[in-house]
């Protein structure tokens, strides 16, 4: 894909994703509460969107602050976030994160990548989501969909998510940074799947290099 085609691609993606429900973390981001974005993102790791949504709602109905979650007994917290994948590990992680927020940050979520990455369980994907969705600051969140589709388009040529983030920071127009994940996640879930993507239904197929696509519909 030629670099200048990114503008047409973004416009097409914006139109297409209107038909689909936004990701669970995106819905929670409408609260404009960085803490809720952080917790729901940690719950979402390796977990289907519908489960993340249900687990987040159940937890936040009981506790919505670092102090409140830290005070919940681990066994009860596990039940609240079940059946999120690795719910026992995530329960311990949530309690540790909340304790550190209280001890180091006065109960507030830090608004820098560096500080967020010091929290257990927080990688670059989670940190960038909190920065963009929680604080409305520029960042590029790269998950499996963003990495796959950016490479499939031929817009970048990278081997892993960290390389993709660096490549996108270098060439993606900054005005698209904050929405890029919101565009590509539902697109990857519903149309541009890892195996046998729906190229016949894709509005950006004419720009796509289809890198690595062995079979398509």
pTM: 0.89
- CA gap 159, 114 in Å, rounded: 23
Active site residue 49: no
For 68-89, the pLDDT digits (tens) are 999 999 999 999 999 999 999 9
Active site residue 174: no
For residue 64, how far is the Cα from the chain centroid? 20
pLDDT in the model for residue 125:
93
- CA gap 158, 5 in Å, rounded: 19
* Burial class (CB within 10 angstroms; exposed 0-12, middle 13-18, buried 19+) of 77: buried
Contact 81/91 with Cβ under 8 angstroms? Answer: yes
Nearest to 138 by CA among 100, 179, 101: 179
Contact 53/63 with Cβ under 8 angstroms? Answer: no
Domains of the chain: 3-21+140-201 (1.10.1670.10), 24-135 (1.10.340.30)
- Here the tokens at position 181 are 């994940």
- CA gap 54, 201 in Å, rounded: 30
* Burial class (CB within 10 angstroms; exposed 0-12, middle 13-18, buried 19+) of 183: buried
Q: Of 49, 53, 95, 125, which one is the catalytic site residue?
A: 125
pLDDT in the model for residue 26:
83
Q: Of 2, 143, 174, 206, which one is the catalytic site residue?
A: 143
- Here the tokens at position 50 are 């519908």
123 Cβ partners below 8 Å, 6+ apart?
117
Largest CA distance in the chain: 54
pLDDT in the model for residue 21:
85
The whole-number average pLDDT for the span 97-110 is 98
Nearest to 65 by CA among 31, 88, 89: 31
Q: Report whether pLDDT(181) > 90.
A: yes
């Amino acid at each position: 894909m030629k670099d200048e085609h990114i503008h047409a691609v973004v416009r097409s993606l914006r139109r297409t994703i209107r038909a689909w429900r936004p990701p669970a973390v995106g819905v929670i981001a409408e609260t404009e509460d960085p803490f809720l974005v952080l917790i729901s993102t940690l719950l979402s790791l390796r977990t289907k969107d519908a489960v993340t949504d249900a687990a987040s709602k159940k937890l936040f109905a009981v506790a919505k602050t670092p102090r409140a979650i830290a005070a919940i007994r681990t066994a009860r917290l596990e039940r609240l976030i079940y059946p999120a994948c690795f719910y026992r590990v995530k329960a311990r992680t949530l309690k540790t994160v909340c304790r550190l927020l209280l001890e180091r940050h006065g109960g507030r979520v830090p608004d820098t990548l560096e500080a967020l990455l010091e929290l257990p369980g927080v990688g670059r994907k989670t940190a960038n989501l909190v920065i963009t969705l929680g604080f409305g600051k520029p960042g590029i969140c790269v998950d499996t969909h963003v990495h796959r589709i950016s490479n499939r388009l031929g817009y970048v040529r990278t081997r892993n998510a960290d390389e993709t983030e660096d490549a996108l920071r270098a060439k993606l127009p900054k005005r698209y940074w904050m929405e890029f994940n919101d565009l590509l996640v539902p697109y990857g879930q519903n149309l541009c799947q890892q195996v046998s993507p729906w190229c016949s239904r894709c509005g950006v197929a004419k720009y796509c290099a289809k890198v690595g696509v062995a079979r398509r519909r």
